[in-house]
Amino acid sequence: MSGANDPYDPKQVAALSPDALAAGVAAARAAFDQATNLDDLHAAQSAHLGDRSPLALANREIAALPPAAKADAGKRINAARSEVRQVYAERLALLQTERDARVLVEESVDVTLPWDRRLEGARHPLTTTQELVGDVFTAMGWEVAEGPEIEAEWFNFDALNIGVDHPARSLMDTFFVQGPDGSADSGLVLRTHTSPVQARVMLTRTPPIYIVCPGKVFRTDELDATHSPVFHQLEGLVVDKGITMAHLKGTLDHMAEAFFGPGIITRLRPSYFPFTEPSAEPDLLCFVCRGESVGNPDRPCRTCGSEGWIEWGGCGMVNPRVLRACGIDPEVYSGFAFGMGIERTMMFRNNAADMRDIVEGDVRFTAAFGMEA
Amino acid sequence: MRASVSWIAEHVDLPPELTPRELGEALVRVGLEVERVESAADGISGPLVVGRVLSFVDEPQKNGKVIRWCSVDVGEDDPRGIVCGAHNFAEGDLIVAVLPGATLPGGFAISARKTYGHVSDGMICSARELGIGEDHAGILVLEADSAKPGDDALDVLGLREAVLDIAVTPDRGYCLSVRGLAREAGAALDVAFHDFVMALPAVDQSAYPVTVADPIGCDQFSARAVTGLDPTAPTPPSIASRLHAAGMRSISLPVDVTNYVMLETGQPLHAFDRARLNGAIGVRRASAGEKLITLDGVIRVLDPDDLVVTDDSGPIALAGVMGGASTEISDETTDIVLEAAHWHPASISRAVRRHKLPSEAAKRFERGVDPRIAGVALQRCVDLLVEHGGASAAPGYTVIGDGPARVSISLPANRAAELAGLPIDATTVRARLEQVGCVVTTSTADKSTSDGSTVDGSTGIGAATETTEATETTEATETRDTGGLFTVTPPTWRPDLTDPADLVEEVVRLVGYDQIPSILPSAPAGNGWTPQQRLRRSASRSLAEAGYAEVINYPFLAPAVHDAFGLPAADERRRAIRLANPISEAEPEMRTSLLPGLLANLVRNVGRGSRDLAIFEMGLVYLPAETTTPPPRVGVEHRPSDAELAAIERTVPRQPRHVATATAGEFDRAGWWGQGRLSGWADAVEAARTIARAAGVELEVRKGDVPPWHPGRCAELLLDGAVVGVAGELNPRVIAALDLPARTSAMELNFDAFSPPPPAQAPILSNFPPVLLDLALVVPEEVPAAAVLAAVRTGAGELLESVRLFDVYSDPARLGPGLRSLAFALKFRAMDRTLTVDEATAARDAAVAEAAARFGAMLRA
């Protein structure tokens, strides 16, 4: 190698000759072209662009040139190196693209494989149906009231105008709590309806009262396809000035539509409940046939038995006696109350055929409902 | 109440074109629950004809029977040959023959078949085979000349007649009669109703001597008598078929007649065999311990509250409920005393419950019988016994007592419109009330006083000075608005009409509930779900999202499960509330914990083929009340005092809401990704933490020993220092005793211990880089990880951003016996600067020092 102060010796700088540079570029191009994978390309890159590559070595010789020759040699060698770098970059991009394409193919998986590692939980439709009821009514400004399931007879019966000897009291199929002496005279029952909650609210609050009371109730019925000794009810109560049966009807219609869809309304049939007067039973327009099966033997409806309407519970204007017992002046306030079975509603809404499936706690039943009924 | 349409039609002008179904629909509109419109012919199809037995031959058989080979004229060109096993007919008798191709009730198909050496071309029917009676001893023989061969037997027997089956609500006692149903039909269809019109003898108290010692229990007792009855006289088919349609068995003419008249008038009647009466009839309450054998042959020990009918021998009937055996009508009875009384409804109700003896009579007395119909009912009975039993009406008519006094109700004329939300004018109100039998008067003179008393009632609250003013204004509006005041006297058959609201219902139901408009009321702004209700929803949602399926179990408890749980005798969970009348004697108590139900549920699900199970339940448990003394009897005329309400409240059991989980099998499933993981104690504890997270709090976990959990795998869960639940794996003995899957784990928390979280506090985040350091501490095995973690947290100080235990390692050979290594990942970060490694290392060393000081922890080499 020549030093800076060495005399100029053309033999020693042969590497800077145009031919030599052209050969170096050609060799690099050939080497890059021959590299078929990134490893080979990397090796070729070291050989032709690295510190020990012919072009790098040639570059160092510039220092040995006389000042007049340096500029020219520098220009040529830069052009050569830049050409090699570009060839390399193109080849690199090509090989990387090829590699990526290959790897993505190699890494492909069967995305249809299941990933059911975790158990799937679900909420019971009776719970979510009660929540739905609450959602519908709280959206109108009502509140959701609750109370004890083992209840004093006074709240369950007396306050609701069902005196001790009232025939309705024995029709209720009541579970009685055993007293300390072993008799049934403990004064406590498993509540037969959620109406005692209404009495409790009326006793502790001043109207206006707008509440719904969903909850568990009990009757001494054996479990079969349509009965259960433990079931759930939804009741509503409004006490305010100027409340009429029209408001009752409007509320029932609203709820029917919220549960069963637009156009499903209710009708009222006169009935009897001790805690309401006048009393009625609401029927639901059959949400399957919409009444079109009536008198139409070609299109019978199993859901409503071709009656067009389905029984849905009980309702009426709160009996003034009940208002009085709860400390509300019936000359100032009037109110309505309604109640229906949650299971029955669910059987309609979710097409549940058998009460036993609802109450037996089979996880397969719950699982079908997910997070909302 | 079941009644044939033709019977109802005897008392009301039904439009001729009205179908039974339309009649049913009309009754539904006015409030009767018509469950079915049916006819006895519903189960019969195909040819059922009247036949005449032309001749027969008795043919003895090898099996000892004698069959009759009959030639029967069924109106065809040639008679048919029919084999019959009965012998209660003669040649020339009219019988009912069912011919091949027909089906009898119960799906019994008839075909021509070979039997006893003949081809029997049909069958001769008994009453039972036709579903119209119980008699199976012989075939049904029709009255001579009542029909001719070939006639449709369904028409001849009246089997095509439509029968309404009606569920009568407790307020409508009068509809437990044809009279009441006809009246309702008249009102529903706006057609004329015809009540009984009958000449009655003068009351002379001579039918039979009667004394009433309890005029409250029996405010009216009426009696008539007949003599010379033919005890063998049969009940005519017209009466028997109506009784049958009503669901009653035909017994004997006198009994059938009393039942028939009860169905017709609603007045229950009783027939005494006069020959078996000893002295005067009396009415009183029973003495304690007195006995009576009722008609059903049961010896009844009477209660001092029971009303009884007596003669000199003692009680002869449980009043209004059931007669006694000693004076029962027999097949030798010729002279009869008929009773038609008006009993105190509540007394009858109590007797029915006490003796568990519901009866047709009691059902009517409980709901109220028309006190003015007794005379008519007795006259009907006498007439029918004279007509069909050859009896003579004995002279005399005994009536003791006047029946209940009639009361009047004041009704503002606009009250119905006000409550219905429907314009109903005063004329309509009056017309509708009169239609149900009320007497309605308007009195302008009464108006001010009646209005005044109403106003007084409505302004009972407030200071005296305000009252005057309020009275004036209210009176002014009331006078303007009520549109007058009616004085309404309800009919005697409607004891249920006692309040203005009752009258409003009568008016509105006859106007038509379908006229009421639909208006949604606007409630004042509300607060939505309460925070506690929202917490319940988010907690149970969290569990469901964590893999648990919700179940809702019956809250009934078998006490034996507490033995299986291994609970000590004094365990609070054994103090369960007991039911007097449980559905199952095996489960007479109310749950004190959710676990028994949840575990039984797990077993049931395993039995149905589920293996990997995670279930939860949220619901009330029932704990003893403050006191078991029954609450005071509190009236309902006005609001009870706060003290009275508090006294009732003290008797109501405490009913906290619990939440519980149970798991068995794999919680993380095995699959193509690798091994699964069985559920265990840790899942149970984590379920509790899931609930706590929903409530925004952290549970303290400490080792516990609570049955039915595994004493080594049981965690007590604490909130603010109080135990609020238990979680872990169940004791293997419990698992074996209850047949649960191995390693079943469970958790139960008192959900009421959690409150809705206060607003969460936002953290202040540092954006300087953290320093991550790991730390492995060797501690004695019995030191809980939670305690070591707490020491590390305290020792590391405020530079510690987070710490996570990531490994537990024990190896006696390397660590030494009784020791284990707990490895923690620590993340340090400063709020105001980039932390140096030296600072972080110093903090970690402080953590080691704290753990060393507390537990002798050593840094693992």
pLDDT at B73: 93
Q: Does A126 touch chain B (CB under 8 A)?
A: yes
What is residue B399's predicted lDDT score, i.e. its pLDDT?
Answer: 96
Backbone phi and psi for residue A98, each to the nearest 5 degrees, phi listed first: -60, -45
Do A364 and B608 count as a contact with CB atoms less than 8 A apart? yes
Interface predicted TM-score (ipTM): 0.85
CB contacts < 8 A, A to B, total 319
Mean pLDDT of B452-464: 32
Distance CA B59, CA B54 (A): 17
Q: Do A177 and B578 touch (CB under 8 A)?
A: yes
- What per-residue confidence (pLDDT) applies to A95? 92
Question: Is residue B473's pLDDT more than 60?
Answer: no
In one-letter notation, the amino acid at residue B808 is: V
Q: Is the CB of A250 less than 8 angstroms away from the CB of B520?
A: yes
The pLDDT value given to residue B491: 96
Q: What is the DSSP string of B398-431?
A: EEES--PPP--EEEETTHHHHHHTS---HHHHHH
Q: Does A194 touch chain B (CB under 8 A)?
A: no
Which site among A154, A157, A276 would you substitute to test the B interface, given the most B Cβ atoms closer than 10 Å to its Cβ?
A: A154
Q: Which of A158, A167, A265 sits opposite B349 (nearest CB)?
A: A167
What confidence tier does A327 reach under pLDDT thresholds 50, 70, 90? very high
Helix, strand, coil percentages (3-state) for chain B, rounded to 5, are: 30, 25, 40
pLDDT in tens, B73-129: 999 999 999 999 888 888 999 999 999 988 887 778 888 888 888 888 889 988 777
Could you please report the per-residue DSSP string of B632-681? Answer: PP--SSSPPPHHHHHHHHHHSPB--EEEEEEEESEEE--BTTB--EE--H
Report the pLDDT value the prediction gives residue A9, as an integer from 0 to 100: 56
For B629-667, the pLDDT digits (tens) are 888 888 888 999 999 999 999 999 999 999 999 999 999
User: Does B180 have pLDDT greater than 90?
Assistant: yes
Question: What is the reported pTM?
Answer: 0.83
Say yes or no for a CB contact (<8 Å) between B516 and A268.
yes
Average pLDDT over chain B reads: 90
pLDDT of residue B463: 33
> Is the confidence at residue B702, as pLDDT, over 50?
yes
- Give the pLDDT band of residue B132 (cuts 50, 70, 90): low
Smallest CA–CA distance, residue A246 to chain B, in Å, is: 5
Span B762-814, pLDDT tens digits: 999 999 999 999 999 999 999 999 999 999 999 999 999 999 999 999 999 99
Q: Is A116 on the interface with B (CB under 8 A)?
A: yes
B445's enclosing H/E stretch is: helix B444-458
Reduce the DSSP state of residue A311 to 3 states and report it: strand
Q: What percent of chain B has pLDDT over 90?
A: 74
Q: What is the pLDDT of residue A182?
A: 81
- The DSSP bridge partners found for residue B34 are B166
User: Which pLDDT does position B459 carry in this prediction?
Assistant: 32
What's the longest Cα–Cα distance across chain A? Answer: 136
Mean pLDDT value of segment A321-325: 95
Q: How far is CA B578 from CA A123, B204, B631, B658, B803, in A?
A: 30, 57, 17, 20, 50
Percent over 70 (pLDDT), chain B: 94
pLDDT score recorded for residue B470: 35
- Contact yes or no for A122 and B549 at CB 8 A: yes
B231 near A CB under 8 A: no
Distance from CA of A102 to the nearest CA of B (A): 25
What three-state secondary structure class fits A266? strand
Check whether A2 has a pLDDT greater than 60: no
The C-alpha angle B402, B405, B408, rounded to 5 degrees, equals: 155
pLDDT at B448 over 80: no
Average pLDDT, stretch B497-510? 95
Please give the pLDDT value at position B236.
Answer: 84
As beta bridge partners, residue B318 has: B308, B322
Q: Which of A176, A208, A331 sits opposite B579 (nearest CB)?
A: A176
- Chain A nearest-CA distance from B673, in A, is 8
SS3 B120: strand
> Chain A within 8 Å of B601 (Cβ-Cβ)?
yes
List pLDDT tens digits, range B506-563.
999 999 999 999 999 999 999 999 999 999 999 999 999 999 999 999 999 999 999 9
The C-alpha atoms of residue A139 and residue B564 are separated, in whole angstroms, by 48
Q: Do B171 and A138 touch (CB under 8 A)?
A: no
B8 shares contact with chain A (CB less than 8 Å): no
Instruction: Supply the pLDDT for residue B36.
Output: 84
Higher-pLDDT residue of B132 and A136 is A136
Q: Residue A165 has what pLDDT?
A: 76
* pLDDT over 80 (residue B194): yes
Residue with tokens 């954006």: B767
Higher pLDDT, A262 or B462: A262
Q: What is the pLDDT of residue B655?
A: 97
| pLDDT over 70 (residue B393) | yes
Which pair of tokens denotes residue B837? 């490694």
Closest Cα in chain A, distance from residue B717 (Å): 23
Residues of A in contact with B639 (CB under 8 A): 203, 324-327
CB-CB under 8 Å, A126 with B547: no
The answer, yes or no, to whether residue B817 has pLDDT greater than 60, is yes
Residue B229 has phi, psi (to 5 degrees) of -70, 140
**What pLDDT was estimated at residue B467?**
33
Q: Which of residues 487-546 of B touch A (CB under 8 A)?
A: 499-502, 504-505, 508-509, 513-514, 516-530, 533, 537, 540-541, 543-546
Residue of chain B whose Cα is closest to the Cα of A363? B549
Cβ-defined contact of A277 to B504 (cutoff 8 Å): yes
Residue B756's pLDDT band (cuts 50, 70, 90):
confident
Task: Say yes or no for a CB contact (<8 Å) between B604 and A171.
Answer: no
CB-based contact (8 Å) between A138 and chain B?
yes
| Contact (CB<8Å) A127/B345 | no
Q: A181 at the B interface (CB within 8 A)?
A: no
Sign of CA dihedral B40, B44, B47, B48: negative
